[in-house]
Chains A and B, each alone.
Chain A
Amino acid sequence: MNLAIYLCLGCMLACGIFAATSRKLIISAVALAVVSAALGVLMYVLGAHSAAIFEVSVCSGLVTVIFISAVSLSNGDRQIEAQDTAEPRRKKRFLPAILIGAGALVMIAAGFSGFSLGAPVAAASGASFQEVFWETSQADIFGQMVALIAGASAIVVFFKEGEDK
Chain B
Amino acid sequence: MNVTTVMLVCGLILILTGCVELIRTRHMLKIIIGLELAIKAISMFLTLGGWLNGNMALAQAFIVTVIVLEVVVATVLSGIAISIYHKHGNMDIRNLRNLKG
Interface positions of A (Cβ within 8 A of B):
2, 5-6, 9, 12-13, 16-17, 19-20, 25, 28-29, 32, 35-36, 39, 42-43, 46-48, 50-51, 54-55, 58-59, 62-63, 66-67, 69-71, 73-74, 76, 79-80, 83, 91-92, 95, 99-100, 102-103, 106-107, 110-111, 115-125, 127-129, 131-133, 136-137, 140, 143-144, 147-148, 150-151, 154-155, 158-159, 161-162, 165
Contact = CB atoms under 8 A, between A and B. Distances in A.
B9 A76 contact: no
Interface residues of B, number: 70
A73 B79 CA distance: 11
B33 A66 contact: no
Contact of B16 (A69, A102, A123): A102
Contacts of B52: 117-118, 120-121
A14 to B, nearest CB: 11
Contacts of A43: 43, 47, 63
B9 A107 contact: yes
